[in-house]
């Protein structure tokens, strides 16, 4: 039976987004504050996932060996480094989060049965890479606060409470929602970017966070005047709303994860189905067609 195991590692490094063939204004336009001299740094967190059969010793790979390979091939070379000069690959393609993960895969693949490389630049920005050429995914995390009430208007209060429990109470309740947006695409061979990160963050802010933050969803967001704002329906709405803006930026919306509380979350995997369903009425279940 096959099993996936994960090994965590860390390194601290600096980098700069700067292309010598562009002038200063062009670099600033493309990379914003990341183009500033002499660069900036991050505490990177790396997860190396391995896939294989469980052997006679109860292991996919000996973790002592895995640890030594990651240290030798990656962390000892990148820790406290200036990434632009640490590896020759970053002379050709800038050391963005997604491109660092791609090159780490290339460095480790001859030694380990890799399944996935996941690299966190910050707790709110990370990438996943699975050895598919220049294809990768990039995730961002944000939050908004909102109130909602779960109830169907055609049902009595007692009937609603039987379905939704305390969530049906007349005056509603609130959550600090945490939202993860994952987009996929091709890493640009020169810039190292699969999407304009600043533009993506702005799209999420403009289309989702600003219209939904500090609102009562049932009353303030038109969609939820006809759809019960469960976590599932909120995630579906976010996926429907962001699909086209993300496509306009050259990426594909892959996943929306909404964390309603530490005990309750849901995910919409957009790349596994077309999210073209029309906005749904109260009498229809939420679906992705």
Is 254 annotated as catalytic? no
Catalytic pick among 73, 98, 121, 260: 260
* Residue closest to 54 by CA, chosen among 6, 3, 5, 7: 3
Which entry of 161, 167, 186, 232 is annotated as an active-site residue?
Answer: 167
**Domains of the chain (ranges, CATH numbers):** 1-129 (3.30.479.10), 134-289 (3.30.479.10)
Give per-residue pLDDT as tens, 112-161. 999 999 999 999 999 999 999 999 999 999 999 999 999 999 999 999 99
Task: Report the C-alpha gap between 160 and 203 in whole angstroms.
Answer: 35
pLDDT digits (tens, 9 = 90+) for 249-263: 999 999 999 999 999
34 counts as catalytic: no
The answer to whether residues 181 and 150 touch, using CB atoms and an 8 Å cutoff, is no
Bridge-based pairing of strands 215-216 and 135-148 is: parallel
The residue-averaged pLDDT of 31-47 equals: 96
Read off the DSSP letter of residue 187.
P
For 192-233, the pLDDT digits (tens) are 999 999 999 999 999 999 999 999 999 999 999 999 999 999
Q: What is the pLDDT of residue 227?
A: 95
- Residue 116 burial (CB < 10 Å; 0-12/13-18/19+)? middle
Q: Is the pLDDT of residue 10 over 70?
A: yes
Confirm whether 53 is a catalytic residue: no
């Amino acid at each position: 039976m096959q099993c996936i195991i994960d090994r965590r590692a860390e390194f601290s490094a600096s980098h700069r987004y700067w292309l010598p063939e562009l002038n200063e204004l062009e670099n600033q336009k493309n990379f914003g504050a990341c183009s500033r001299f002499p660069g900036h740094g991050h505490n990177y967190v790396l997860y190396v996932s391995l896939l294989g059969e469980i052997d006679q010793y109860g292991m996919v790979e000996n973790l002592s060996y895995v640890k030594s390979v990651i240290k030798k091939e990656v962390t000892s070379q990148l820790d406290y480094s200036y990434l632009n000069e640490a590896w020759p690959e970053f002379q050709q393609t800038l050391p963005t989060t997604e491109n660092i993960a791609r090159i780490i895969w290339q460095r480790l693949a001859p030694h380990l049965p890799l399944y996935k490389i996941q690299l966190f630049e910050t707790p709110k920005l990370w990438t996943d890479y699975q050895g598919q050429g220049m294809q990768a995914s990039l995730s961002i995390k944000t939050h908004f606060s909102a109130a909602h009430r779960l109830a169907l208007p055609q049902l009595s209060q007692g009937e609603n409470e039987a379905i939704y429990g305390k969530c049906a109470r007349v005056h509603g309740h609130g959550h600090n929602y945490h939202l993860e947006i994952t987009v996929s695409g091709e890493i640009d061979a020169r810039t190292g970017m699969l999407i304009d990160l600043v533009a993506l963050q702005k799209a999420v802010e403009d289309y989702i966070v600003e219209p939904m933050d500090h609102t009562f969803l049932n009353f303030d967001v038109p969609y939820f005047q006809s759809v019960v704002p469960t976590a599932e329906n909120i995630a579906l709405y976010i996926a429907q709303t962001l699909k086209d803006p993300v496509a306009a930026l050259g990426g594909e919306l892959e996943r929306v994860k909404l964390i309603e509380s530490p005990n309750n979350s849901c995910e919409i995997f957009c790349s596994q189905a077309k999210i073209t369903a029309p906005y749904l009425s109260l009498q229809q279940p939420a679906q992705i067609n």
